[in-house]
Every structure is written in structure tokens, then in C-alpha cells.
Structure 1
Amino acid sequence: MRMNTAKTFTLAASLSFFAILSGPAVSAEIEIKMLNKGSDGQAMVFEPAAVKAQPGDTIKFVPQDKGHDVVSMTGLLPEGVAEIKGKISQEVSFTADKAGAYVFKCTPHFGMGMVALVVVGDAPANLAAVKDAKMPKMAKDRLTAELTKLGL
């Protein structure tokens, strides 16, 4: 039995459409600014201070004001993820390949509460370590507030 040309075309177009829909997801690029003053008036912040991402997304820390760096906090990355460390006033980006919580600090302003949280995936396996982490009070308060905003 032969299909006519119109039916063949319609079938091919439909299959192509569904192949596109079921193809790999496009990764996102998420930008986090390093600021002396955030939009909420707080001093020395990453903005946004917490983001949700998916595996494969690129996270980019961009210095908007001079004097900031971004450094991953020891023990507060998903297992097997190498340390991420930038230099003062330098952009840093990485691909978040593993699910989990990633916690970052600005070394010169950590005591002033300059921390950032990136949650990759839905249920970070290292969440307890993040919640129990010891850090300066202002940093701990900001991190706790951001965890709450994300419903963690």
C-alpha cells in the first residue's frame, strides 16, 4: 500500500516536530552579579544571592564593582566537584554538571555576609552540610534566608 505525497509529508513533519521536542534540553546561562550594594540596599552582596539551576547550566559571576572575588566554600559543593576560585575583580564561570548545593563566598567580604547559593537539581544531597556549615553570623544569616526563599 502506497501513501500519497501529502500524507508522507505530514507524517515526516510530525515526526520531525516530536524529535525536536524530545531532544536534549538547552542549557541556560545564569548571571550572578558581585556588588557593593544590592537592589535591596544591603551592602556587599551577590545578586541574586540564590539561584536554582539544572545540570549543564552555566553559572557566571560578574563583578559589577571592584574588589570582589568568588570562591567555593570547602565542603559545601556536591561530592566530586573541584574547587572554584576566581581572582579579585575577575569574572568566573563554571558549568554545573552535578546536582547539589554549591556555596560561594567573596573572600574580602565574607564576614559582612557576602555568600551565594546555587542549587542544581531538585533535592540537594549535601543540604544538611550546607545548613550545618560554620561561618560568620552575617554570612550564616544570609545563607539561611536564601535557603528559606528557595523552600529548602
Structure 2
Amino acid sequence: MPSDHLRDCEDLHWELTELGVDHACGLVSLLRVIGGRLGVGELPDVVDVMINPSDAPRVSIPGVTIEFSLVPNVQGRAVYVGGAPFASLEDLVVSVVVNRGIPWYLGLVRKLLSNGGVRESLNWEWVYEILDRFNAKAEFMGLVGDLV
């Protein structure tokens, strides 16, 4: 897949759509759009996308950070901004358990959860249901439990 022309996640969206990969723009891409309003200013200089782990063998894009979605069909729950799907805050938060290896991911999720408005707006019923379904609640609480 040619990646030399990729500038942002919207460009990447069309490449992944052609490949038939379920995806959404990732945590940093979303925070570039809404982070200022949430008190998240300094962001890593990356282009990121969230995909299902099962699609990982089909997606190799130099210079793009691949995040994994804990829950399949991330695009179905995405919020569309400018024609591209962006992962929902709930997806980004629950997926901290599968993205803890990305150095900045946990820190950004913790920063989001430290914002009372963000915590209050999340659909916690869905978050806890998903964490229970994927047997990830204890790990989630170990990573961010002090903020929820």
C-alpha cells in the first residue's frame, strides 16, 4: 500500500477502505480534533488508526501507529468527522487494555479520564459490559481504576 502521500488519518481512511479493513482514526487523531476542548494539548507527532487485531497481518503502513480495538466492528461505532470515521471515546478507553504497549496511549487515556466532563459523558454501562465480556475488567481497573 503506498503511504508516501499520507498526511493524516482521513487520507489513511480511504486506503484502508480499499483494503476492506474495519478501522477508525485513533486516539491521537481524535484528540487533534477535540483535545483542546478537553484540556489535552500536547500530542505525539503520529498518524494513528485503530483496527481489529485480526486485520493486523493485512495492514503494514510505514510511519503509521496501529492501535487495536478491543471490540470488533470499531467502524460501526465510530463518529464521522470530515468524511472519516474516528473511534468513539468508549472504544478508545476500553481498548487501553490492548494498547498498553504503545508508550503514549495509557497516558492520554488517563488524561481524558481525569476530565470530569469526559468521565460523565461516557457510556459506562457499555464500557463495563464490554470489559466483562472480554474478561478485561481487572486489567482495566489496574490501569485506570483510580480515575473511574
> What TM-score, normalized to structure 1?
0.30
**Higher share of residues assigned helix:** 2
TM-score under structure 2 length normalisation: 0.31
